[in-house]
C-alpha cells in the first residue's frame, strides 16, 4: 500500500465560494475542481473541499489518499485502528472512502481515487 496524498478536508455549502476564499486569501492553486470534490494546494498542502456542507461551523478532517483502500482497511486493524462503520461497496459506487479512528480516538478518512 502506498500513500499517494495527504489532504485536509473542509465541508462547503458553496464549494466555488470556498475555493475562491482560499485562493484569494492564501494564493492557493486549484488542482482539481468539481461540485462534489475539489482540491486546492496551499504551501504544498492539499486542502480537499467537499461540496454538500450545511454552511455552518463543522469539523475539518485529515484524509489519506491511498492507492489500495482495501489494503489500507486491512492494515488499519493490524495497527490498532478501527473503522467507524463498514464502507459501502456497490457496483454503482465502488469502495472509495473509509471513515477510521486511531487508537487515541482521533477520526480520519482513508480514500482511494475513483477510476
> For cell 489519506, what's the residue?
64
Tell me the C-alpha to C-alpha distance, in Å, between residue 46 and each of 22, 28, 60, 81. Answer: 11, 9, 13, 24
Residue pLDDT, tens place only, 8-50: 999 899 999 999 999 999 999 999 999 999 999 998 999 999 9
Question: Domain ranges in the chain?
Answer: 3-112
User: Residue 92's pLDDT is what?
Assistant: 75
Residue 58 binned pLDDT confidence (cut-offs 50, 70, 90) = confident
User: Residue 61's pLDDT is what?
Assistant: 85
Tally the C-alpha atoms within 13 A of residue 22's C-alpha that lie toward its C-beta. Answer: 23
Residue pLDDT, tens place only, 77-109: 999 999 998 887 777 777 789 999 998 788 899
Mean pLDDT, the chain, integer: 89
Write down the architecture of domain 3-112 according to CATH.
Roll (3.10)
User: Residue 34's pLDDT is what?
Assistant: 94
User: Residue 84's pLDDT is what?
Assistant: 92
Provide mean pLDDT across the span 47-60: 86
Amino acid at each position: 500500500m502506498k500513500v499517494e496524498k495527504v489532504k485536509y478536508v473542509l465541508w462547503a455549502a458553496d464549494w466555488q465560494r470556498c475555493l475562491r476564499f482560499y485562493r484569494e486569501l492564501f494564493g492557493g492553486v486549484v488542482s482539481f475542481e468539481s461540485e462534489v470534490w475539489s482540491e486546492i494546494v496551499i504551501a504544498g498542502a492539499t486542502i480537499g473541499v467537499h461540496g454538500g456542507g450545511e454552511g455552518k461551523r463543522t469539523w475539518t478532517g485529515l484524509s489519506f489518499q491511498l492507492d489500495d483502500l482495501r489494503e489500507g482497511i486491512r492494515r488499519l486493524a493490524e495497527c490498532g485502528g478501527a473503522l467507524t462503520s463498514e464502507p459501502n461497496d456497490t457496483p454503482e459506487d465502488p469502495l472509495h472512502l473509509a471513515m477510521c479512528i486511531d487508537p487515541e480516538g482521533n477520526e480520519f478518512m482513508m480514500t482511494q481515487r475513483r477510476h
